Amino acid sequence: MPAAKFEIIRKCKICGEEFLAKTIDSWYCSKRCSRIAWKRKDDERKRNLKLDEIVKSIPKKQDYIKVTEAYALFGISRDTLYRLIHKGTISHINLGTKQIRVSKEELMKLYPLRRKALDKPKTVAKIYRMEEKDCYTIGEVSKKNKLDNSTVYLHIRKYSIPTRQIGNYVYVPKKEIDNLYKGMKI
């Protein structure tokens, strides 16, 4: 049995380097990598805003739309779209070279809107689920993550994970534990 691993080692989501996670929500090894992650997120946000503008400009009553508009609406790539056209899955009309229009109605039946796909519900407030079914026992956590109980207790204290005692067992919320050990090198 190796020495108790008090620290949690994670792989940086940007550069892949291993680092010590200071908090439960540390996913990047350095300020530099955090900045890159932030920049990527921001670029993504701006890109989506631009696509929203295109979506707004599409006439509501018009069925046949441009390839770029289909991308803005559904987030499906040009290649995928051409494949669908080629297979005859969706109707299209050709107004000339590079003037293909595809049926919005038919795409609607095949794809969720890009914005809908993006708007996954996000947890806002931190509400811990402490019902037995939403929790692991310490023993379960140790077994699952190949750690000993004392190490798990140290992690729980260090990362401020709430606990609940029922009978002889100490329970910890599954979600928090899964999040804590996600990306941990065992």
Residues that bind Zn ion (CB under 5 A): 12, 14-15, 17, 29, 33
Q: What residues pair up with 101 in beta bridges, in sequence order?
A: 66, 93
Nearest approach, Cβ of residue 31 and Zn ion (Å): 10
Q: How many residues does the chain have?
A: 186
Nearer CB in complex with Zn ion: 8/12: 12
Nearer CB in complex with Zn ion: 33/177: 33
Nearer CB in complex with Zn ion: 21/73: 21
Nearest approach, Cβ of residue 15 and Zn ion (Å): 3
CA torsion through residues 82, 87, 92, 96, sign: positive
Nearer CB in complex with Zn ion: 27/71: 27
For residues 100 and 140, the answer to whether their CB atoms sit within 8 Å is: no
H/E stretch holding 9 reads strand 9-11
Nearest approach, Cβ of residue 29 and Zn ion (Å): 3
Angle between helices 138-145 and 174-181 (to 10 degrees): 30
Residue 177, amino acid: I
Nearest approach, Cβ of residue 33 and Zn ion (Å): 3
Q: What residues pair up with 103 in beta bridges, in sequence order?
A: 64
